[in-house]
Chains A and B, each alone.
Chain A
Amino acid sequence: MATRSDGLARAAALRGMFEARGAQVVETPVLQPADTLLDLYGEDIRARAYITSDALRGEQMLRPDFTVPVVQMHMEQGAEPARYTYAGEVFRRQEHDPDRANEFLQVGYEVFDRSNPADADAEVFALIAETLDGLSLRAATGDIGILMAAVRGLDTTDRRKAALMRHIWRPRRFRALLDRFARRVPVPAARAALLAAPVASSAPVIGRRSPAEIEERIEALRADAATPPISDHEMGGLETLMAVRETMPFALEQLRDVAVDLPQITPALDRLEARIAALAAHGVDVETLEFEASYGRTSMEYYDGFVFGFYAEGRPDLPPVATGGRYDALTRQLGNGAEIPAVGGVLRPGLMLELEEAGA
């Protein structure tokens, strides 16, 4: 059984290796102001992070990961390009599975570099893969940017596109919106009634949401009802896109077919193609590497491009040993107007040790 000090020693060794490859070592506080994380993730983060408070600083969170503070630090004072590494504990509240650790070590490698995003993606993936060499792991990859490009280019209203983008990480809600915008589901009775007749309520106006806001929403609903549905060929394209799951070269081929119906994804596919070439140049066997277009579409993620994860073969009970991806939009959200392409990955040394012991 690997001890805590084994884990710390491994974490230090991994960080040392990333440092030797040119990354600058950074430290972040364990306590993070809760506001930033709540603004990014909403109330859902409370189910995942430990929150504490004092009368002076208000709510604070035990860092659930390093990415947000590292991005903040870079946006405030970082020089470009930059490569960072860090190691330390992160804390995750567990309300459903007592077997999942609520405190574990993470070692990360993050690249802030605008010169060649495809190469930076490949650099991070190849480095993480190299670190995990010897473990029996399955790599999964995806690219949430392709679906985002598809949505942004739909032949429909900006309001609909904004609603879909807002829920891109909530697959079920996204699907429900899509079905509604394509008129594949009946309009709920209460909404039909609202749209059919001028509405008035004699109830008193209370609270901060004003009658003007209600009027505005009714207008928006009326406008939406008068908007043609998302077409069958666009819907077909989106459905095929979301279902793509193949090795990288075949996935690209299938997505190029989808681009016949959804030409707006072509620039994102060109980026995927460049990434495949860059991965191959970094020695990754792309012929066998899996690509899943819907991979990484879980809530509370910030990735908006390339995404990847490494999973222990035959151990579906374990969380991924490493994960990572591109998060350009996060740098924009935290950058006060500035932005920089960024990609990174994290490893869990504790899980690596556990798997090494099981395999030994």
Chain B
Amino acid sequence: MSLKLGVPSKGRLMDKTFDWFERYGIRLSRTADREYSGQVEGIDGVSLVLLSAGEIPRELAAGRIHLGVTGTDLVHEKLPRWEQQVEELEPMGFGQADLVLAVPKFWVDVDTLDDLDAAAAAFRARHGFRLRIATKYHRLVREFLTEGGVADYQLVDSQGATEGTIRNETAEAVADITSTGDTLRANHLKILSDGPILRSQATLWRSRVAEVSATEKATLKALMARIG
């Protein structure tokens, strides 16, 4: 059997991943435009598995792929005790983004987690419900806020257009991934100074649980010698 490499199946993340491997003489490509299968040239014994970036952590943890390319954010959010399930092989230098907490810019009294906690207490007393933070990174955000001693908040799920939730009054604050902060600024939000919750970038991961045959082990060694 061949060594299975999971790669994001579309968009910039896929293109940049292909470019990154190309630098080491490994050519990844999709066999046809609409078909989610691919081929690998320049190294023997590796097969390409095209997946949604969000599914790659789960596939690594299940051992269905040996290697995978996805963001640190997704691995940390989706895999509790991720260190035991995957090993970080190489940060790839693209897809940089920070998971940050942001509040409306006109909240001049809120700059730190301490401020957010105080604002949340007053907000709950006045409005009768806990201050809402919209995010899709529930576990990471909750752990960060617990660590920071923030109480009286609630997480509301937002799988997209998170920055808009404050204007739409479905949340009072957001926790989202940003690379430049432009979208946050355009939505009149500012980032809290305590943070970021996580610095993320596209990373090559190895599954610690996938079974590896002798041939696959040799292939992995050869691959690591090329990119290491």
Residues of chain B within 8 A (CB-CB) of A47 are 139, 142-143, 146
User: Is B121 in the interface zone, CB < 8 Å from A?
Assistant: yes
**A218 and B109 contacting across the interface, CB-CB below 8 Å:** yes
Complex CA gap A203/B108 in Å reads 10
Complex CA gap A203/B118 in Å reads 22
Please tell me which one of the listed residues B114, B123, B146 contacts residue A209 in the complex, with CB atoms under 8 A apart.
B123
Which applies to chain A's interface (DSSP): helix, strand, loop or mixed?
helix
The residue on A at minimum CB distance from B117 is: A173
Residues of chain B within 8 A (CB-CB) of A96 are 80-81
Interface residues on A, range: 35 or more
Q: Could you tell me which residues of chain B, from 119 to 133, have a CB within 8 Å of some CB in chain A?
A: 119, 121-123, 126-127, 130-131
- Write the nearest CB–CB distance from B118 to chain A, whole angstroms: 7
Please tell me which one of the listed residues B109, B111, B142 contacts residue A214 in the complex, with CB atoms under 8 A apart.
B109
Interface string of A216-252 (1 = CB under 8 A from B): 1110010000000000000000000000000000000
Residues of chain B within 8 A (CB-CB) of A42 are 130, 151-154
Residues of chain B within 8 A (CB-CB) of A56 are none
The residue on B at minimum CB distance from A193 is: B111
Known contacts A201-B106, A206-B166, A208-B169; decide if A166 and B127 are in contact (CB<8 Å).
no
Known contacts A188-B112, A209-B119; decide if A203 and B142 are in contact (CB<8 Å).
no
Interface residues on B, range: 35 or more
Residues of chain B within 8 A (CB-CB) of A221 are 109
User: Is B228 in the interface zone, CB < 8 Å from A?
Assistant: no
Please tell me which one of the listed residues A163, A201, A209 contacts residue B172 in the complex, with CB atoms under 8 A apart.
A209
**B151 and A217 contacting across the interface, CB-CB below 8 Å:** no
- Write the nearest CB–CB distance from B34 to chain A, whole angstroms: 36
**A188 and B111 contacting across the interface, CB-CB below 8 Å:** yes
The residue on B at minimum CB distance from A212 is: B126
Q: Could you tell me which residues of chain B, from 126 to 175, have a CB within 8 Å of some CB in chain A?
A: 126-127, 130-131, 138-139, 142-143, 145-146, 149, 151-155, 166-167, 169, 171-172
**B166 and A217 contacting across the interface, CB-CB below 8 Å:** no
Complex CA gap A180/B112 in Å reads 14
Residues of chain A within 8 A (CB-CB) of B171 are 207
A-B pairs, top 5 by smallest CB distance, nearest first, are: A173-B149, A203-B105, A190-B111, A203-B106, A207-B166
**Interface positions of B (Cβ within 8 A of A):** 80-81, 104-109, 111-112, 114-115, 117-119, 121-123, 126-127, 130-131, 138-139, 142-143, 145-146, 149, 151-155, 166-167, 169, 171-172, 188, 193
Q: A43-B142, A206-B106, A208-B169 are in contact. List 6 more A-B contacts (CB 8 A).
A: A43-B153, A44-B142, A46-B138, A190-B111, A213-B123, A214-B106
